[in-house]
Amino acid sequence: MSADPALLARLRAVVRGIEARAPRTASWGAPAASAPTARVAAGAPWLATRETAAGPCGYREVRSALAAPAVDGALLALLAPGERVSAGPLLFLDIETTGLGGAGAIAFVVATARIEAGACVLRQYVARTPAEEAGVLEALCADAAVHEQPTLVTYNGRTFDAPMLDARATLHRRRAGFEALPQLDLLAPVRTMYRGMLPSCRLRDVETHLLGLTRPDDDASGAEAPRWYFQYLRSRDERDVRPVLEHNERDVHSLVVLLARLATLVRDASAPPTAIDALALGRLFARRGEHARAELALERATALLAPSFTRDEALWRLARAYKRSGRRDRAEPLWRELAERRGSLPAHVELAIYYEHHARDVGRASAATERALGIASALVHGGARIDALTVRRARLRRKHAAATVDV
């Protein structure tokens, strides 16, 4: 059956519209990338042809001397709680797609990396035409050895990359099984550890502020990848797809470097390189229930940080850790600092509780309660706090009256 000419015309118009669409400026203010142009000098083709049972695809292999992350089962369990991770093989993965989902969005570049014989081996599978996606998936599944249950290391891959690959494989009547693999999605621990301390948790900001990596100014973003690919489909000039391959390669290599850095931080937790890293470790250990390690990291963070909201967070977390371990006497000066310097309502409440029930100092408990009531009364949604503090004030007045009678 021949294609409807009118339908083909509409599809061509859609593709041209995507190609012409101006890229939006990145959220943290970086300049928008230029429109696709041939930026790589002509030379030997990057892509070889990989033949598979499902048809051919483009293929590229790169070996680099990236250091292997020193991981073990304990580290993986810390970074990915609830997953079936082990110290077995790691499979780093990143994909480039023509959209965020739906039957029309294809995975046109897939990259994996493994540590083999001391080298980082990156493999890229490229659909040089949409029909070659079947070959991409066939080659990928053959090399990934999903049956060996490697731990899949991605950045937001649990919610995007793995489901996308499985869905595309299903459309090609193949079972991929990436969602069923043990998952180490590095976005989750990065958010736990560094949220609010970076401009964002996007991989590019993580590279800049945590890894010390700087991408070239003309790096093609993932959002721009579809435009580059559609231009490549029209031009058949490999230079139009190379920017996407370079971007994809950097993404995967960044996963290797990021995991190595997190492994080093956890292994050398007693001496994190920066105050921010110390606070990040405190957050991670506290979230995972490793309270003794959390205390050590938070003590270092409070010692290194200058007065700031970041230090206040470290103080609050450390006070909470001391309270959890029953050492409220060590938490009291931290609550007092937060209460006096920041006027923190939660700190005043904690002081009132401590002075009433542990220090047995009704006078100081009453003073902390009155200060807390003053702060809560100024809050729009302070009703519940005010009710609880009012009950506490009445109880403290009764205690004070009883003590006065006894005297």
21-33 pLDDT, tens digit each: 433 322 222 222 3
How does residue 46 score in pLDDT terms, banded at 50, 70 and 90? confident
pLDDT, the chain, mean: 87
How does residue 223 score in pLDDT terms, banded at 50, 70 and 90? confident
Q: What is the pLDDT of residue 70?
A: 85
Q: What is the pLDDT of residue 381?
A: 75
For the ranges 49-63, 87-101, 319-333, which has the lowest average pLDDT? 87-101
Question: With contact defined as beta carbons under 8 Å apart, do 202 and 170 qualify?
Answer: no
- What's the rounded Cα separation, in Å, for the pair 17 and 9? 12
In this structure, what are the phi and psi dihedrals at residue 125, rounded to the nearest 5 degrees?
Answer: -120, 125
Question: With contact defined as beta carbons under 8 Å apart, do 406 and 382 qualify?
Answer: no
pLDDT average, residue stretch 85-107: 87
How does residue 16 score in pLDDT terms, banded at 50, 70 and 90? low
Q: What is the pLDDT of residue 73?
A: 87
pLDDT average, residue stretch 206-226: 89
Alpha helices in 343-382 (DSSP H): 345-357, 362-377
Q: What is the pLDDT of residue 86?
A: 78
Q: What is the pLDDT of residue 42?
A: 43
Tallying the residues shown for the chain, one arrives at 407
pLDDT average, residue stretch 386-396: 92
Neighbours of 291 (CB within 10 A): 15
Q: What is the pLDDT of residue 342?
A: 84
Q: What is the pLDDT of residue 403?
A: 76
* CA proximity to 326, closest of 354, 297, 364: 354
pLDDT in tens, 196-206: 999 999 999 99
For the ranges 4-8, 236-240, 305-309, 403-407, which has the lowest average pLDDT? 4-8
Maximal C-alpha separation, the chain: 103
Q: What is the pLDDT of residue 378?
A: 87
First to last CA, the chain: 103
For the ranges 17-26, 37-46, 163-172, which has the lowest average pLDDT? 17-26
Q: What is the pLDDT of residue 6?
A: 60
Q: State how beta strands 183-185 and 151-154 pair.
A: parallel
Give all domains of the chain, ordered by start, each with its CATH number: 45-267 (3.30.420.10), 275-406 (1.25.40.10)
Res 193 pLDDT > 70: yes
Res 253 pLDDT > 60: yes
Neighbours of 122 (CB within 10 A): 21
How does residue 35 score in pLDDT terms, banded at 50, 70 and 90? very low
Nearest-5° Cα angle at 355, 350 to 360 = 150
For the ranges 250-264, 304-318, 373-387, which has the lowest average pLDDT? 373-387
In this structure, what are the phi and psi dihedrals at residue 287, rounded to the nearest 5 degrees?
Answer: -65, -30
Asked whether the whole model's pTM tops 0.75, one would answer: yes
Q: Higher model confidence: residue 407 or residue 365?
A: 365
pLDDT in tens, 289-325: 999 999 999 999 999 999 999 999 999 999 999 999 9
Q: What is the pLDDT of residue 285?
A: 96
Beta strands in 86-222 (DSSP E): 90-97, 107-116, 119-126, 151-154, 183-185
Q: State what percent of residues in the chain have pLDDT above 90.
A: 70
* CA proximity to 111, closest of 120, 122, 100, 121: 122
